[in-house]
Structure formats: C-alpha cells, structure tokens
Amino acid sequence: MKKLSVATVFIIVLSGLSAQAQIINLGVHGGLNYPDMKLNNSTLSSYKNYGGLVIGGWARIGGMFYVQPEVNYTWTKAGITGSGGAQSPVNLHHMQLALSPAVRPLRKKAINFRLGGTASYSFLMVVNSNSIGINRDDFRTGAFHAGPFVGFDFWRFTLDGRYLFGIGNQSANSGEKWRNNLVQATLGFRILGQK
C-alpha cells in the first residue's frame, strides 16, 4: 500500500506541474552511489560500505524555479561481519523515486547552476545470497531520504551531487536500528528540451 501511495503522489505532482510548466527537459544520468549505514543495537558486528552505482532518468519541469522527478536504479556493495565474526560481501539493489524542487540562480544560454533539496523513497528489490544469511526480510521494504543538492549544467551535460539523510529505521528486526545516509554524484545528458 505504501508503494502505491508514494507512486500516486509522485504522478500527481508531476502531472500538476507539467500543466503549468514553461520548460520541460528529459535526460538520463549515471554515477556513484555511496551509502553510509549506521548500526545501533544490531546483531551485526560491522557493516562496511564499498560504494556502488546509480543509473536513471529525470525530467526538469519549470523555468528559474523547477522540480526534477527521477527514477533511478541503485546498486551498492558492503562487507558485513556477523556477531560470530563471519564475514561476507552483500549486494543491495534498489529502485529509487526522487523529487527535487530547486532554483537556478545562474541561468545562461550554455551554463546553469542549480540549488535545491531532494526527497526520495527507495524500494529494496534484491539482497544477494551470502554466507551470513542476511536477506531481504532483514530490511524494511523501503527507505525515505531527504537532503540538499547542487547541480551544474554545461550545454547538454549535467553534473549533480547530493547528500541524503536516512529517515527512519531500515532494519525489520525488532530492537535493531539501521540508518543509511547516501552520497550520490551523477553525470547526465539532457536528451530533450531547452534550458
């Protein structure tokens, strides 16, 4: 039910903005996804992040003030140490829906500078098999994140960086608290639309 309501809000916001928008841009991007999982009262001894990748598509709707909805696929790798000292690599795969309201304080013909905030919801799709036995049931189905971002456009290329704070507990196990903050940096290309 949560998935349906988040997706519905996402589509309603996108539809309402596109009806009043002056400019609509569509593009793709890819880059680095670096999570920082913090463990409290966990049965795991440690959780070491090795980073990962993000790839997806975006739309920018509006002029100086705009909104940027995104759909991204993210992959991250971590090294987990269980309570008994056993270690194993773990890969996590998410589908991320993000929405970024922003402003373009510098908006020239070939150059744009952008500032704003991002709210995202990530659906956990797959946790690979591992020797410790951590699986998808140990995680909540999804996670909310929010934080600032900065972006720079040159011609049709875009460079974005953001820091997203984890909101809520990602552990599905009683009494455990896992919070995941994210750093994402992407290089993109505007396929359709004008600045």
Give pLDDT, residue 8: 58
53 or 9: which leads in pLDDT: 53
Domain boundaries, the chain: 2-192
| HEC per residue, the chain | CHHHHHHHHHHHHHHHHHHHCCCEEEEEEEEEEEEEEEEECCCEEEEEEEEEEEEEEEEEEECCEEEEEEEEEEEEEEEEEECCCCEEEEEEEEEEEEEEEEEEEEECCCEEEEEEEEEEEEEEEEECCCCCCCCHHHECCEEEEEEEEEEEEECCEEEEEEEEEEECCCECCCCCEEEEEEEEEEEEEEEECCC
Fold of 2-192: Porin (2.40.160)
Task: Quick: pLDDT tens for 46-89.
Answer: 778 899 999 999 999 998 999 999 999 999 998 888 777 788 88
